Amino acid sequence: MLVLIADKFPASGREVLGRLGEVVYRPELSAEQLPAALAETKADILVVRSTVVSETALAASPPLSLVVRAGAGTNTIDTAAASRRGIFVANCPGKNAIAVAELTMGLILALDRRIVDATLELRHGTWNKSKYGKARGLKGQTLGLVGFGMIAREVAVRARAFGLKLLTCAHHPIAPELLEAHGVVQVADLGALLDASDIVSVHVPYSKANHHLIGADQIARMRPGATLIHTSRGGVVDDKALAEAVRSGRLRAGLDVFEGEPAGGQADFKNIAGDVGDIYATPHIGASTEQAESAISDEVVRIIESFVARGIVHHAVNLNERVARYSLVVRHLDRVGVLAGILMALREERVNVQGMSNTIFAGGEAACATITFEQAPSDECLQRLRDHEAILAVELRAART
Ligand SMILES: NC(=O)c1ccc[n+]([C@@H]2O[C@H](COP(=O)([O-])OP(=O)(O)OC[C@H]3O[C@@H](n4cnc5c(N)ncnc54)[C@H](O)[C@@H]3O)[C@@H](O)[C@H]2O)c1
Ligand SMILES: O=C(O)CC[C@@H](O)C(=O)O
């Protein structure tokens, strides 16, 4: 088994993976160089952070069967192409949420106290207490969290300690216990959240549907003097419209992600923070704390270990989520050919198997197979299975609709 790691990844994690197979560490690879590296190494497993994984990359190594995103967002991986090729794509949900929440709070505080500007002036020898000795203060202000996933919840925990009032919006009703536990109120929709918030912080994944979720209209709807914090993904906010609103003095913004940002560690990048003083910005470092990188590394190792040892992929993001209409539970003696016999019987019925698992009981004598499909096998087929000398019991279950 060969694991190609195409982004920065801790040495401790690489060492553990090295015990499972060969590890090729190429953190310098760009998206353009990735296909050639995959073709050359014939990697079975690919680990990436922000490096884009295109269909060409996925096709470059025939044995490639798993791509692990050492992070949360998978929009940089062509998951549709991976699904077409039967390649699992997995991520590490929540493992860097605290780090992003900490940066979010950092940007909120830095903007309120204008810490960056004050530091820059002091560095140049200017004492400007008159200018920087004015801030609104956070207590009692309203923070609107766009999305209420892992990161937004960690932001809520921290923001509450600062005395902020918390709102959120989602496409569906969020469980009341979850809202209550975080001291958050769900408002009707994004518009209501923008109307009511002094600070808006964006925590949704990038997708076609979320492209410019915070566009010119939403930016215009924000309260005058409000602050927008964006640490989710370039493209969720319309950067140009935001820059205009900040330049006009209506808003302030704290950004960790940008439209068209470079994927690698160092590059020239002309960006909207360059000429707009009220934009504070960091180069996509939300997840980059030692704590988060270590938690992500442990999770990547866990995902790969489980895949190699048991074929189970934790946090796969490109599986068919549809619940099969029928499942057949077959308890059987653990003998060669029994499973093949069951599948042959289903094949004769032209039943297309959707999923299958087989668990062996302690002692190794008996096992239980669960097979799922959309179309029920006939009674005759079920009887034939029941009559098999190595089959102990057969039960057909229909999913509740
Ligand atoms: N700056 C960084 O370094 C960094 C690090 C980690 C994650 N991220 C980004 O942050 C995003 C969120 O991360 P997370 O761990 O909280 O993910 P998550 O999946 O736990 O939460 C995202 C939530 O947003 C909701 N959502 C999606 N579209 C929405 C919409 N239009 N309106 C309201 N809710 C919507 C989803 O239902 C989900 O509950 C990631 O997808 C990634 O792009 C950035
Ligand atoms: O790996 C990184 O540096 C960024 C990760 C982050 O954007 C994520 O989606 O987890």
Q: Domain range spanning residue 364?
A: 326-398
Is a pLDDT exceeding 90 seen at residue 113?
yes
Q: Looking at residue 105, what is its pLDDT?
A: 98
In a domain, 315, yes or no: no
Please give the sequence-ordered ranges of beta strands (E in DSSP) within 224-379, or none if there are none. 227-230, 252-255, 279-281, 326-333, 353-360, 366-373
Does this model's pTM top 0.95? My answer is no
Taking the CA of 234 as reference, the closest ligand is: 1
C-alpha–C-alpha distance, residues 385 and 236, integer Å: 53
Quote the DSSP letter at residue 363. Answer: T
Q: Looking at residue 81, what is its pLDDT?
A: 98
The CATH number of whichever domain residue 349 belongs to comes to 3.30.70.260
In a domain, 341, yes or no: yes
Task: Calculate mean pLDDT across residues 128-134.
Answer: 96
Is a pLDDT exceeding 90 seen at residue 321?
no
Is a pLDDT exceeding 90 seen at residue 399?
no
Query: In degrees to the nearest 10, what's the CA dihedral of 152, 153, 157, 163?
Result: 50
In a domain, 122, yes or no: yes
Answer yes or no: do 88 and 103 share one domain: no
Phi, psi for residue 303 in degrees, rounded to 5: -65, -45
Asked if 153 is an active-site residue, the reply is no
Answer yes or no: do 123 and 264 share one domain: yes
Task: Calculate mean pLDDT across residues 322-344.
Answer: 94
In a domain, 149, yes or no: yes
Answer yes or no: do 112 and 48 share one domain: no
pLDDT in tens, 355-386: 999 999 999 999 999 999 999 999 999 999 99
Q: How confident is the model at residue 401 (pLDDT cuts 50, 70, 90)?
A: low
* CA 296 to ligand 2: nearest atom: 10
Q: Looking at residue 238, what is its pLDDT?
A: 98
Helix and strand element counts for the chain (H, E): 15, 16
Task: Calculate mean pLDDT across residues 335-339.
Answer: 95
Taking the CA of 256 as reference, the closest ligand is: 1
Q: Looking at residue 265, what is its pLDDT?
A: 83
* CA 210 to ligand 1: nearest atom: 31
Considering only 35-49, 52-66, 163-177, 315-329, which range has the smallest mean pLDDT? 315-329
Rg of the chain (C-alpha set): 26
Query: SS3 for 10?
Result: coil
Domain boundary among 236, 271, 286: 286
Q: Looking at residue 323, what is its pLDDT?
A: 85
Average pLDDT, the chain: 96
Answer yes or no: do 255 and 384 share one domain: no
Answer yes or no: do 126 and 188 share one domain: yes
Q: How confident is the model at residue 275 (pLDDT cuts 50, 70, 90)?
A: confident
Asked if 284 is an active-site residue, the reply is yes
Answer yes or no: do 223 and 107 share one domain: yes
Residue matched to tokens 């492209």: 211
Could you tell me if 230 and 107 are in contact, meaning their C-beta atoms sit under 8 angstroms apart?
no
Q: How confident is the model at residue 288 (pLDDT cuts 50, 70, 90)?
A: very high
Is a pLDDT exceeding 70 seen at residue 192?
yes
The CATH number of whichever domain residue 90 belongs to comes to 3.40.50.720
Residue whose C-alpha is closest to residue 167's, from 129, 134, 205, 141: 141
Q: Using N-to-C axis directions, what is the helix angle for 290-310 and 97-113, rounded to 10°?
A: 160
Task: Calculate mean pLDDT across residues 183-208.
Answer: 98
Answer yes or no: do 120 and 140 share one domain: yes
Phi, psi for residue 387 in degrees, rounded to 5: -80, -10
Answer yes or no: do 234 and 101 share one domain: yes
Return the best residue to mutate from 8, 49, 76 for the ligand 2 pocket (most ligand atoms within 8 A of CB): 49
Return the best residue to mutate from 51, 89, 96 for the ligand 2 pocket (most ligand atoms within 8 A of CB): 96
Task: Calculate mean pLDDT across residues 75-102.
Answer: 98
ipTM reported for the complex, 2 dp: 0.99
Is a pLDDT exceeding 80 seen at residue 166?
yes
The per-residue DSSP string of 320-351 comes to --PPPSEEEEEEEE--TTHHHHHHHHHHHTT-
Q: How confident is the model at residue 257 (pLDDT cuts 50, 70, 90)?
A: very high
Residue whose C-alpha is closest to residue 179's, from 201, 153, 154: 153
Is a pLDDT exceeding 90 seen at residue 274?
no
Task: Calculate mean pLDDT across residues 135-162.
Answer: 98
CA 303 to chain CA centroid, nearest Å? 14
C-alpha–C-alpha distance, residues 241 and 217, integer Å: 9
Answer yes or no: do 193 and 282 share one domain: yes
Task: Calculate mean pLDDT across residues 197-209.
Answer: 97
**Which of 69, 114, 233, 384 is flagged as catalytic?**
233
In a domain, 219, yes or no: yes
Answer yes or no: do 155 and 233 share one domain: yes
Q: Looking at residue 263, what is its pLDDT?
A: 85
Ligand 1: residue whose CA is nearest its atom 21: 149
Q: How far is the CA of 201 from the centre of ligand 1 (A)?
A: 11
Ligand 2: residue whose CA is nearest its atom 1: 49
Answer yes or no: do 346 and 304 share one domain: no
Answer yes or no: do 104 and 59 share one domain: no
In a domain, 78, yes or no: yes
Ligand 1: residue whose CA is nearest its atom 28: 204
Looking at the structure of the chain, the number of domains it has is 3
Instruction: Output the six-digit token pair for 161.
Output: 């300690």
Residue matched to tokens 């990697």: 43
Is a pLDDT exceeding 90 seen at residue 329?
yes
In a domain, 243, yes or no: yes
Is a pLDDT exceeding 70 seen at residue 36?
yes
Q: How far is the CA of 297 from the centre of ligand 1 (A)?
A: 20
Task: Calculate mean pLDDT across residues 191-211.
Answer: 98
In a domain, 190, yes or no: yes
Task: Calculate mean pLDDT across residues 20-32.
Answer: 96
